[in-house]
Amino acid sequence: MPDISPEAVDKLKHAPGESGVQESIRRRWSPRAFADKEVSSDTLKSLFEAARWAASSSNEQPWRFLVGRRGDPTYKKIFDSLVEFNQMWAKSAPVLLLSVAKKTFTEKGNPNRVALHDTGAATANLSLQATASGLHTHSMAGFDSDRVRASFGIPSDYEIGAVTAIGYFGDPSTLHERMQKSELAPRQRKPLEEFVFSDWEKPAQF
């Protein structure tokens, strides 16, 4: 691994400066290296306060978060559901959370087809608040959703979302060699014309 400090790696991962884009958005990225440093209760609570104020259809707020701190039973249940690759690095994260979305509206019981969308919006709020607090998040799909549903007794009316690791950025050299390359690589994104349209697959003009 090149001789580069964690601080330099973190800066390398910042998105290029774009006019009008907030700093916390530019600085948000998903590392796999986490420091051996706990997240305070007050800081952790602020992340969920940020999630709380996300927009949702009919103000249903369908999101639910199961949050585990390293060493407690909730953390172990979430960690045990991860695929082996994710367990290799996520074990260093001091916080693991599982997002869940209520699939029906509470008042009338009719389907809420945007429940996961809204839960994703809440998770995005949480991630940006984490970045503003000096933390990092890494959400992942590599886990056994059936296992984690059974572990927590999650009702069928709830859809499993994603697992997110939370913590302070650590030293990439602590990662397995095959993970270090992606940790050090510059971030890439599609250009706007590939996903912002005025008609289907017709790039919008700004």
pLDDT in tens, 196-206: 999 999 999 99
Q: What are phi and psi of 13, to 5 degrees?
A: -80, -10
- Residue-wise pLDDT for 151-189, tens only, equals 999 999 999 999 999 999 999 999 998 899 999 998 889
Domains and CATH numbers, the chain: 26-172 (3.40.109.10)
This prediction's pTM: 0.95
Give CA 9 to chain center in angstroms. 19
Overall size of the chain counted in residues: 206
Nearest C-alpha neighbor of 103 from the set 172, 157, 150, 59: 157
What's the token pair of residue 7? 């601080």
pLDDT, tens only, 37-81:
999 999 999 999 999 999 999 999 999 999 999 999 999 999 999
Looking at the DSSP assignment, which residues form a beta bridge with residue 64? 100
Please give the pLDDT value at position 178.
Answer: 87
In terms of DSSP bridges, do strands 136-140 and 158-167 run parallel, antiparallel, or are they unpaired? antiparallel
Measured between alpha carbons, how far is 34 from 58 in angstroms, rounded to an integer?
37
- Residue 8 and residue 172: Cα distance in Å, rounded? 11
- Residue 98 in contact with residue 160, Cβ under 8 Å? yes
Question: Is residue 9 within 8 Å of residue 172, measured between CB atoms?
Answer: yes
- Mean pLDDT (the chain) is 95
